Structure 1
């Protein structure tokens, strides 16, 4: 499967929403093609390089499919799109085109069967509910009540202020229960840092 990539300084997770402003020709063309074909593109986290200009030298080998859910012309004249994270993928090979758009050969990753939330997830579920009250989270129509471990893990990993490298590790985890356990550890580290 060949997928055009949009490398960003962020990590997108399945089921999570991201608003983007598109102004570079390579990405305007890519979005146009995706909308005509009803297809998505791949978001990968930049490790080395910039979002604008030449293609980044290095990015995460696991990314998330971005499905276009809405678009509008913004007051600043740029194209605004809202995407939602779809399937995770592993980058096998890449090719940078003349316009600096990166095309990737990808393999879709299998998702584990979702498990219902248990009592041990109560605190994390309450945290997601609290995050839903934040204006930026509310604007994305995210947070609030979820029923499964997958949605809880993905939304917390996406919304909480972890380092990009930590978010990338969370994205690469297959098991939602393992991802939730890691989020708990990272939260404890954040609280420890604040108290220090």
Structure 2
């Protein structure tokens, strides 16, 4: 029986999109509750949890977040021309929120169990097409990944997460890919849905 990780508390940021481990997130912050979140994370060097919104919206009343999300760590921030705070965050480990509560200011805080990183598994030869498709997608859609080392393309977890964020999946499909614990199963499911995106 695998021992559960201890629960840690962190602020949660429900979004209408999914953040994957290693992925990049750019946000414009204007609500006071999220300005407080950024201050807390930068002051203590901690991350915040990004969860897909299951019900509700990114602004206004607190939304209902998915239980499984990804820890985001702020890597850069700046002021936009309109005065809003812009941040860049990078996806770290995944987590499952055991409990969550909404503070008086509307910020959601969760007690989360952090998942271990997936094992590094080589991409089997039957998924070589996925590596080629990912290279093309990065060339046209994700220039920030162009400098990725060649070794990344032989890491089943990295290839699966990058395809899941770049292919035109809907948010629920992306959430499913995030929740899978087997990188080879993720590649198999991505391969099986590829025909949807091929032009007739």
- Following TM superposition, where does structure 1 have runs of at least 4 consecutive aligned residues deviating by more than 6 angstroms? none
Determine which of 169, 177, 196 is the counterpart of 2:184.
177
1:25-74 deviation line (CA, Å, top 9, x unaligned): 10011001101111100000001100001111x22111000011111111
3-state secondary structure, aligned to 1:67: strand
3-state secondary structure, aligned to 2:20: coil
Asked if the contact 2:127/2:191 (under 8 Å) is kept, the reply is no
Partner of 2:145: 142
3-state secondary structure, aligned to 2:157: helix
Partner of 2:17: 10
Residue 118 (str. 1) matches residue 121 (str. 2): no
Structure 1 alignment gaps of length 5 or more: none
What is the alpha-carbon distance in structure 2 between the residues aligned to residue 33 and residue 59 of structure 1?
20
What is the alpha-carbon distance in structure 2 between the residues aligned to residue 111 and residue 37 of structure 1?
23
Output aligned runs, 1:1-196, within 5 Å: 1-56=8-63, 58-134=64-140, 136-138=141-143, 141-142=144-145, 145=150, 146=152, 147-191=154-198, 195=200
**Equivalences, count:** 189
1:158 CA displacement: 1.1
What is the alpha-carbon distance in structure 1 between the residues aligned to residue 102 and residue 134 of structure 2?
38
1:122 CA displacement: 1.8
3-state secondary structure, aligned to 1:82: strand
What RMSD over aligned residues (CA atoms) do the two structures have, in Å?
1.4
Using structure 2 for the length normalisation, give the TM-score: 0.89
3-state secondary structure, aligned to 2:105: coil
Structure 2 alignment gaps of length 5 or more: 1-7
Using structure 1 for the length normalisation, give the TM-score: 0.91
What is the alpha-carbon distance in structure 2 between the residues aligned to residue 85 and residue 49 of structure 1?
23
